[in-house]
């Protein structure tokens, strides 16, 4: 039995820790106390040999970052990339106890291994769906980079593969495992700012450069395999690796890149599957022969409950006025309600007044899925076989919102969306639906992973 005095000391220590955490993070004290109390619950006991084999497919910067975070939960036994310089770097990076992971150039061969239990999919966007489908069919659990798909239609195929094969998939929209974003969404969902009227998402503008000149393909790169389902094009350094996201052939610009993060949080707070109306304005046009994605834009979504969801690119605009002083200031989300506003990004959370954040939510308030570690949540769910915080349906719905905006920008049209049928309806339906799926260049279609 604990002595009362030792309990008092422990309680004092706990409160001091809460106060320090609140001061450092900007989170309200009541929320920090709740979070730390939950974190103090007994940790799950994991046996020393309970370390699943992990394979990384797509060994660029983001894939290697994800694999590095997963390495604390398992052993990286294989790596794969169509760029052999990436494979060599990953082999060196993820070796353990003198045992380097085996390198591959074709992910299908890697998936044949019985000692691979978890796939980290760090490929460019146009490869996400086929790799995820192949991994699910091979009964591997998956951490997939965002956005989950290149097109809306691909999401249906990924969901079917994941559910039919009963695997766990975590979408890499890791802001759902952030206390700041969860707090903002809980406050909005519980009416702290009154009736939600508008969500404004600020995204970085894209790149507007060109024209570019074709160059010889580097000897270490399988350029045909890298392009995959996309139309075959001459090699440009600006098409490949980190810069792929500024080409509609492979991605959707910052709408689907940063949008996959912030628009996911907006979708989480609104709590509805999808908008029913989308309209947009392109604020610049791509340079012929250069990046094809629209770099500067405004997109407006209307939800069935009347909430307006605005997305704005911000090359040099502070959402609160003034001059941008650092990169992070132009990324964030503002929730506008009848009784106030909340602003949140990866660095801070602010509100109309301190009371709005500082007053605890009442008992019985709606609580959202609790995860403070996106990678840890995946491995907890691999053991429990429960859905992770960003499961395959959430990843699909979140990506769909981004794709709807990109389709409106590409067509220049105001479009009506049916969330149940997952199709455009009404005027201009044919033009919109032409972008719901894309023709896949053979052999890199669904038969490639059948």
Secondary structure of the chain as H, E, C letters = CCCHHHHHHHHHHHHHHHHHHHHHHCCCHHHHHHHHHHHCCCCCCCCCCCCCEEEEECCCHHHHHHHHHHHHHCEEEEEECCEHHHHHHHHHHHCECCECCEEECCHHHHCCCCCCCEEEECCCHHHHHHHHHHHHHCCCEEEECCCCCCCHHHHHHHHHHHHHCCCCEEECCHHHHCHHHHHHHHHHHCCCCCCEEEEEEEECCCCCCCCCCCCCCCCCECHHHHHCCCCCCCCCCCCCHHHHHHCCCCCCHHHCCCHHHHHHHHHHHHCCCCCCEEEEEECCCCCCCCCCCCCCEEEEEECCCCCEEEEEECCCCCCCCCCCCCHHHHCEEEEEECCEEEEECCCCEEECCHHHHHCCCCCCCCCCCCCCCHHHHHHHHHHHCCCCCCCHHHHHHHHHHHHHHHHHHHHCCCEEEECCCCEEECCCHHHHHCCCCCCCCCCCCHHHHC
CA proximity to 171, closest of 317, 410, 390: 390
Q: What is the pLDDT of residue 19?
A: 54
Least confident stretch, 180-189, 237-246, 314-323, 328-337: 314-323
pLDDT score for 285 = 97
Q: What is the mean pLDDT of the chain?
A: 91
Distance CA 371, CA 197 (A): 27
Residue 324 has pLDDT above 60, yes or no: no
Looking from the CA of 263 toward its CB, the CA atoms found within 13 Å total 35
Cα separation values, 73 from 122, 233, 367, 426, Å? 17, 39, 27, 49
- What crossing angle do the helices spanning 259-270 and 179-189 adopt, rounded to 10°? 30
Give the model's pLDDT for residue 209.
Answer: 96
**254-268 pLDDT tens trace:** 999 999 999 999 999
C-alpha dist (Å) from residue 361 to 14, 189, 341, 342: 21, 11, 16, 15
- Alpha-carbon distance 212 to 440, whole Å? 25
Write the CA distances from 179 to 22, 136, 176, 264, 388, integer angstroms: 12, 30, 8, 15, 16
pLDDT band at 328 (very low <50, low <70, confident <90, very high): very low
CA angle, residues 104, 107, 112, in degrees to nearest 5: 95
Q: Which residues contact 219 (CB under 8 A, 6 or more apart)?
A: none
Q: What pLDDT score was predicted for residue 80?
A: 98
Of residues 425 and 314, more confidence is placed in 425
Interatomic CA distance for residues 95 and 106, integer angstroms: 20
Which pLDDT belongs to residue 330? 63
pLDDT for residue 152? 98
Unique residue bearing structure tokens 């894939």: 63
Task: Copy the structure tokens of residue 278.
Answer: 């989308």
Q: Report the pLDDT averaged over residues 17-38.
A: 68
Structural contact between residues 34 and 362, judged by C-beta atoms closer than 8 angstroms = no
The candidate with the shortest Cα–Cα distance to 315, out of 410, 409, 203, 210, is 203
pLDDT at 28: 83
Work out the average pLDDT over 159-186.
Answer: 97
Question: Does residue 51 have a pLDDT over 60?
Answer: yes
Residue 9 is predicted with a pLDDT of 47
Instruction: List pLDDT tens digits, range 232-249.
Output: 999 999 999 999 999 999
Residues 76-88: what's their mean pLDDT? 98
pLDDT at 310 over 70: yes
Position 133 pLDDT exceeds 70 = yes
Closest CA to 120 of 108, 135, 105: 135
- The pLDDT-based confidence of 35 (bands split at 50, 70, 90) is confident
CB 381 within 8 A of CB 170: yes
Tens-digit pLDDT profile for residues 350-369: 999 989 999 999 999 999 99
pLDDT grade for 45, boundaries at 50, 70 and 90:
low
> Domains along the chain?
12-39 (no CATH), 176-363+392-449 (3.30.360.10)
Q: How confident is the model at residue 4 (pLDDT cuts 50, 70, 90)?
A: low
Sign of the alpha-carbon dihedral angle for 326, 331, 336, 341 = negative
Q: What average pLDDT score do residues 179-207 get?
A: 96
Its sign, for the CA torsion 85, 87, 89, 91, is negative
C-alpha to C-alpha distances, 92 to 12, 66, 96, nearest whole angstrom: 47, 16, 9
Q: Do the beta carbons of residue 346 and residue 329 sit within 8 Å?
A: no
Residues 41-60, mean pLDDT to the nearest whole number? 78
Q: How far is Cα 141 from Cα 124, in angstroms, rounded to an integer? A: 19
């Amino acid at each position: 039995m604990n002595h009362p005095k030792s309990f008092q000391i422990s309680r004092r220590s706990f409160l001091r820790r809460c106060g320090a955490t609140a001061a450092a993070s900007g989170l309200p004290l009541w929320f920090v106390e709740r979070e730390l109390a939950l974190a103090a619950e007994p940790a799950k006991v994991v046996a020393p040999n309970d370390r699943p084999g992990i394979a990384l497919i797509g060994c660029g910067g983001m894939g290697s970052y994800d694999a590095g975070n997963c390495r604390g939960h398992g052993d990286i036994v294989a790596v794969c990339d169509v760029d052999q310089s990436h494979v060599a770097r990953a082999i060196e990076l993820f070796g353990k106890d003198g045992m380097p992971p085996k390198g591959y150039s074709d992910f299908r061969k890697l998936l044949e291994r019985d000692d691979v239990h978890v796939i980290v999919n760090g490929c460019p966007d146009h490869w996400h769906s086929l790799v995820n489908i192949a991994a699910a069919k091979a009964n591997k659990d998956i951490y997939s980079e965002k956005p989950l798909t290149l097109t809306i239609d691909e999401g249906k195929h990924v969901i079917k593969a994941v559910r039919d094969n009963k695997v766990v998939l975590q979408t890499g929209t890791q802001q759902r495992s952030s206390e700041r974003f969860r707090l903002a969404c809980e406050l909005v969902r519980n009416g702290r700012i009154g009736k939600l009227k508008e969500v404004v998402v600020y995204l970085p503008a894209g790149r507007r450069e060109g024209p570019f000149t074709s160059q010889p393909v580097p000897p270490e790169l399988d350029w045909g395999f890298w392009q995959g389902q996309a139309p075959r094009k001459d090699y440009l350094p600006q098409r490949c690796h980190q810069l792929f996201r500024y080409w509609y052939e492979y991605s959707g610009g910052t709408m689907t890149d940063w949008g996959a993060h912030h628009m996911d949080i907006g979708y989480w707070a609104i709590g509805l599957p999808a908008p029913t109306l989308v309209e947009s304005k392109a604020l610049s046009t791509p340079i012929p022969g250069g990046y094809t994605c629209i770099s500067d834009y405004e997109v407006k979504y209307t939800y069935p409950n009347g909430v307006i969801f605005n997305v704005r690119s911000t090359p040099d605009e502070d959402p609160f006025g003034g001059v941008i002083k650092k990169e992070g200031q132009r990324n964030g989300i503002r929730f506008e309600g009848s009784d106030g506003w909340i602003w949140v990004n990866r660095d801070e959370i602010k509100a109309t007044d301190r009371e709005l954040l500082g007053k605890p939510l009442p008992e019985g308030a709606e609580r959202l899925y609790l995860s403070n570690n996106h990678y840890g949540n995946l491995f907890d769910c691999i053991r429990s076989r429960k859905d992770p915080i960003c499961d395959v349906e959430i990843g699909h719905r979140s990506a769909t919102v981004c794709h709807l905006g990109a389709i409106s920008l590409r067509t220049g049209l105001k479009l009506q969306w049916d969330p149940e049928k997952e199709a455009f309806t009404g005027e201009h339906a044919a033009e919109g639906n032409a972008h719901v799926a894309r023709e896949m260049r053979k052999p890199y279609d669904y038969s490639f992973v059948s």
